[in-house]
């Protein structure tokens, strides 16, 4: 049986207050449960997006490494490494946020595309090969996909945290707070009824005593 709330007085005012508390707690429980269910639905949607984004990133990385192996076979590992050092690129991100069911999740936007033309990479046509160009482009495209994946994974992490927090609040209301409020309400009702019976018995005895005196 749930424990009653300590320190309550068995009065009618306390009983009215507890009845209001029970109604508010039950209403809050219903709202939180609806929020939890909606959050779980949003969470599953974003998880689906993460799966797709991860698959795209993995496929693009595999393609890039395949071209890297071909480039290294044609030009040599050291030559490809030297070419890679000639193609620095600064990555600038605009970071903002959006709200999903009241949860703030990040938006990562590139200030400019990472994919470049051959002439923008800093090495000459004579020094490279088609495999090097395809390798570089694939890695650039893979990096863009990895940034999108990072955005989605952070959204999943934040949504999962909010789902867990909401579930704890729902469970606390359902299994702790509401049962305690109802147990306390029942206790006060029983005590008031008991006090009424005691008062009735006391009054009855007084009446009998008065009647005896009159006789």
What does each of the 215 residues of the chain score in pLDDT, given as a tens digit? Answer: 678 887 888 888 999 999 999 999 999 999 999 999 999 999 999 999 999 999 999 999 999 999 999 999 998 999 888 888 877 778 889 999 999 989 999 999 998 888 888 777 777 656 678 888 899 899 999 999 999 999 999 999 999 999 999 999 999 999 999 999 999 999 999 988 888 888 878 877 777 777 777 76
What is 12-214's CATH number, 3.40.50.720, 1.10.287.3240, 3.90.190.20, 3.90.1150.10?
1.10.287.3240
This prediction's pTM: 0.79
- Provide DSSP, the chain: -PPPPTT---SHHHHHHHHHHHHHHHHHHHHHHHHHHHHHHHHHHHHHHHHHHHHHHHHHHHHHHHHHHHHHHHH-HHHHHHHHHT------EEEEEEEETTEEEEEEEESS-S---GGGSS--TTT--HHHHHHHHHHHHHHHHHHHHHHHHHHHHHHHHHHHHHHHHHHHIIIIIHHHHHHHHHHHHHHHHHHHHHHHHHHHHHHHHHHHHH-
Domain ranges of the chain: 12-214
């Amino acid at each position: 049986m749930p424990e009653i709330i300590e320190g309550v007085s068995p009065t009618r005012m306390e009983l009215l207050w507890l009845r209001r508390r029970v109604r508010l707690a039950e209403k809050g429980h219903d709202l939180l449960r609806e929020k939890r269910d909606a959050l779980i639905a949003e969470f599953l949607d974003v998880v689906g997006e993460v799966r797709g984004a991860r698959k795209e990133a993995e496929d693009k990385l595999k393609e890039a490494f395949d071209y890297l192996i071909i480039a290294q076979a044609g030009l040599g590992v050291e030559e490809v490494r030297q070419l890679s050092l000639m193609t620095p690129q600064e990555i600038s991100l605009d970071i903002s946020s959006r709200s999903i069911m009241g949860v703030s999740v990040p938006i990562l936007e590139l200030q400019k595309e990472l994919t470049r033309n051959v002439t923008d990479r800093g090495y000459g046509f004579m020094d490279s090969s088609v495999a090097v160009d395809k390798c570089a482009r694939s890695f650039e495209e893979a990096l863009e996909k990895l940034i999108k994946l990072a955005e989605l994974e952070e959204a999943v992490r934040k949504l999962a945290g909010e789902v867990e927090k909401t579930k704890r609040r729902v469970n606390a209301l359902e299994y702790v707070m509401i049962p305690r409020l109802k147990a306390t309400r029942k206790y006060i009702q029983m005590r008031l009824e008991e006090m009424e019976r005691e008062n009735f018995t006391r009054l009855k005895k007084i009446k009998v005593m008065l009647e005896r005196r009159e006789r």
